[in-house]
Chains A and B, each alone.
Chain A
Amino acid sequence: MTSLATLPPRQNGGGRFRRLLAVPDGAYRGALGVVAAVFAVLLVAFVTSLVIQARPAFAHFGLSFLTSTKWDPVHVHYGVLVFLVGTLETTLIALVIAFPIGLGCALALAFGIPERLRVVLGPAVEMLAAVPSVVYGLWGLLVVAPWMRTIIEPALAHITGGHGPFSGSQLGVGLLLAGVILSIMVLPTMVAISRDVLLAVPHVEIEGAFALGATRWQVMRRVIIPSARGGILGATTLAIGRAMGETIAVTMVIGNTDHFSHSLFGTTQTMASLIANEFSEATEPFHLSALIAVGVVLLVVAVVVNVAARLLVRSVDRQRAIGIGVL
């Protein structure tokens, strides 16, 4: 029988690993600083390597890389404008659909439904933000595309008379489907962040408005939304960033052709889907360099959007920019 007295005295800390970690404060802080520095170096290496590899394409085509609409690997001519426009178009469609619905949904989640429903639906929406994009792509291609081809696109063409953006052959896949799938993908993110921001509006302001006799809608419109606009803006910009960089789902549903689409039903391509489609087939070095240059353009656009969002949110409202950084 082992009594307490016969056990070997417990060493303070004990074990080589633990002793190794009990380093002096200076060394500990230094080590953490090194980690942060490594992170910074990693980012610098990231940007540098991209720029170096994209240089041949930029040097050869100069500004015409951005303004040319011809992407022709066979004749070694590369211009990114079609795909830049494709990225902007899909993002715009997604935003036009997702912004009003997302804001309404966030308002309903925060103030429009009973508490019991809220505690279930809130986390459920957040969970859906974690569904991988390739699953959205699969569903969009195999389930939604046939709906678009047989129901939605004929209906839209019928209502509008089939002119302008609603003309052309109805394929199912294309610009409109890509925008719709993107809007579905960014909605959970937008809703989750906007709801948090709306719920963070000070209660005294809301109660004050009610005391003045405002209706629920007046309180939302005149008090809650103005007070939360910084965070809503941040959530929207985050959604824009997501939509612009989304690759795999868009690649599966946009049709992947390298010309402008003159109709919502037509096929085109985004910068991200172009890289996904051609990168592993790019055997010729110049083709690869051009694709990496497309990546640089995408990176620049993404960074500008992100930084602008953060500055905007900070200047509009310093206090309530809590939504950003959540996701």
Chain B
Amino acid sequence: MTIMAADPVLARRAEIQRIAEATDHRRQLLSRLALLACRACLVITLIPLVALLVYVVIRGASAWSWAFFSHLPTPAGIPGGGIWNAIVGSIIIDAIAAAGAIPFGIAAGLFLADSDGRIAGTVRLAADVLSGVPSIVVAIFAYAVLVAHGIGHFSAVAASFAIGILMLPVIMRASETAIRGVPTVLSEAGLALGARRATIARRVVLPAALPGLLTGVLLAVARGAGETAPLLLTTINSQFFSASPTKPLAAVPLVIYENGIQAYPDLVKIAWGSALFLIVMVLVLSVGSRLVAARLRRVRYE
């Protein structure tokens, strides 16, 4: 035994073994700590987001009542009042924006999906860049075209124009992805039957791409409905009811912004209630789009 212990090779082996174990210990510990740090980051990310939702739900729910949804706003200092006019205004503004952006965006998506040339590349890049342009800058364009010249005053249509432009790149890229996901054999089968491309697009490609199209479109509408900055430059919040698109209409995001920065508790309460309403609408749209899309896919492949 004493001879073996004195053997330099064996001694070195034992030394290496010891170092390896120590290193292994260290890196296992480091790995565990690093993973813990990552999980801590996850918790840190979720805390403010959960806190935000909890605050909006608690403060907003206490503002909700039948009158909140069905009455017009009251002047500052007078309790009560609702956001009926803002709800109608928001629906009109977003409906017009969607009516313009959806068909245009899907047509552009069809174009992008079956062309790979330089023109398509440029359009794709333009859409990507447009999706990165701040909404307030797009609002300036809407102001210049429709408020300063076109219609000549603040109006719901100008707001729709700005929001429609903001929806456009989202719809374009989402529908391109959805349409590209349709197997080419389907359209080739159509071509083999002698169908025209327009017929194939309408009867084969678009129905097959419907789940993806729906998700993209509803996501774009949800995002558009929450936009506030474009409204500041194109329409004016008011306490009156109107449903005329060429007039400035009140809108829910504007109510949150303008009431939220007031000193009157009643107005702030209305802002919280409107914030809850807006979040519920946006979440219903995005969760709903996923559920509907998943259901469509299941029905198709069963």
A292: B residues at CB distance < 8 A? 140, 144
B123: A residues at CB distance < 8 A? 36, 39-40
| 1/0 contact string of B31-49 vs chain A (CB within 8 Å) | 1001101111110111011
Partner of B52, one of A43, A130, A134, A135: A135
CB-contacts of B50-108 with A (<8 A): 51-52, 55-56, 104, 107-108
- CB of B209 within 8 A of chain A? no
**When the two chains form their complex, are residues B107 and A35 in contact, meaning their CB atoms are under 8 A apart?**
yes
B133: A residues at CB distance < 8 A? 245, 299, 302-303
- CB of B245 within 8 A of chain A? no
CB-contacts of A210-249 with B (<8 A): 215-218, 220-221, 238, 241, 244-248
CB-contacts of A249-296 with B (<8 A): 252, 272, 275-276, 279-280, 291-292, 295
**When the two chains form their complex, are residues B42 and A108 in contact, meaning their CB atoms are under 8 A apart?**
yes
| 1/0 contact string of A113-138 vs chain B (CB within 8 Å) | 10000000101010110111111111
- CB of B222 within 8 A of chain A? yes
**When the two chains form their complex, are residues A217 and B196 in contact, meaning their CB atoms are under 8 A apart?**
no
**When the two chains form their complex, are residues B256 and A135 in contact, meaning their CB atoms are under 8 A apart?**
yes
Partner of B261, one of A45, A216, A252: A252
**When the two chains form their complex, are residues A113 and B134 in contact, meaning their CB atoms are under 8 A apart?**
no
How far, in whole Å, are A130 and B134 apart by their CA atoms in the complex? 16
- CB of A101 within 8 A of chain B? yes
How far, in whole Å, are A54 and B268 apart by their CA atoms in the complex? 37
| 1/0 contact string of B258-299 vs chain A (CB within 8 Å) | 001100000010011001001100110011001000000000
Contact A325/B173 with A40-B123, A101-B45 known, Cβ cut-off 8 Å? yes
Segment of A20-28, A57-65, A151-159 engaged in the interface with chain B:
A20-28
| 1/0 contact string of A290-310 vs chain B (CB within 8 Å) | 011001001100110111001
How far, in whole Å, are A291 and B108 apart by their CA atoms in the complex? 33
How far, in whole Å, are A109 and B44 apart by their CA atoms in the complex? 13
* A-B interface contact total, Cβ < 8 Å: 256
- CB of A197 within 8 A of chain B? no
Segment of A69-77, A164-172, A183-191, A199-207 engaged in the interface with chain B:
A183-191
Partner of A112, one of B35, B45, B145, B222: B35
Partner of B135, one of A53, A215, A247: A247
**When the two chains form their complex, are residues B41 and A130 in contact, meaning their CB atoms are under 8 A apart?**
no
**When the two chains form their complex, are residues A306 and B268 in contact, meaning their CB atoms are under 8 A apart?**
no
CB closest residue in chain A, given B172: A39
| 1/0 contact string of B158-174 vs chain A (CB within 8 Å) | 00000001001000110
CB closest residue in chain B, given A123: B290
Find the residue from B28, B31, B45, B112 having the highest chain A CB count within 10 A.
Answer: B45
Min CB distance, B49 to chain A, in Å? 5
B34: A residues at CB distance < 8 A? 216-217, 220-221
**When the two chains form their complex, are residues A50 and B137 in contact, meaning their CB atoms are under 8 A apart?**
yes
- CB of A162 within 8 A of chain B? no
**When the two chains form their complex, are residues B119 and A275 in contact, meaning their CB atoms are under 8 A apart?**
no
How far, in whole Å, are A23 and B42 apart by their CA atoms in the complex? 53
- Chain B contact residues (Cβ within 8 angstroms of A): what range? 35 or more
Min CB distance, A309 to chain B, in Å? 8
- CB of B199 within 8 A of chain A? yes
- CB of B156 within 8 A of chain A? no
- CB of A143 within 8 A of chain B? yes
- CB of A9 within 8 A of chain B? no
**When the two chains form their complex, are residues B132 and A238 in contact, meaning their CB atoms are under 8 A apart?**
yes
**When the two chains form their complex, are residues B130 and A43 in contact, meaning their CB atoms are under 8 A apart?**
yes
**When the two chains form their complex, are residues A276 and B35 in contact, meaning their CB atoms are under 8 A apart?**
no
**When the two chains form their complex, are residues A130 and B126 in contact, meaning their CB atoms are under 8 A apart?**
no
How far, in whole Å, are A31 and B104 apart by their CA atoms in the complex? 11
| 1/0 contact string of A89-125 vs chain B (CB within 8 Å) | 0000000000011111101110011000000010101
Partner of A131, one of B45, B52, B261: B52
CB closest residue in chain B, given A221: B34
Given contacts A36-B111, A188-B45, A191-B45, 6 further A-B contacts (CB under 8 A): A46-B141, A100-B41, A130-B219, A217-B31, A245-B136, A291-B140
28 sampled A-B residue pairs with Cβ under 8 A:
A23-B196, A28-B197, A31-B107, A35-B104, A35-B107, A45-B145, A50-B141, A50-B144, A101-B45, A104-B37, A108-B35, A125-B49, A127-B287, A130-B223, A131-B226, A132-B278, A134-B253, A188-B49, A215-B30, A217-B27, A220-B34, A272-B136, A279-B233, A280-B232, A298-B134, A303-B132, A305-B132, A310-B125
| Residues of chain B having any CB pair with chain A under 8 Å | 27-28, 30-31, 34-35, 37-42, 44-46, 48-49, 51-52, 55-56, 104, 107-108, 110-112, 119-120, 122-123, 125-130, 132-138, 140-141, 143-145, 165, 168, 172-173, 196-199, 201-202, 219, 222-223, 225-229, 232-233, 236, 253, 256-257, 260-261, 268, 271-272, 275, 278-279, 282-283, 286-287, 290
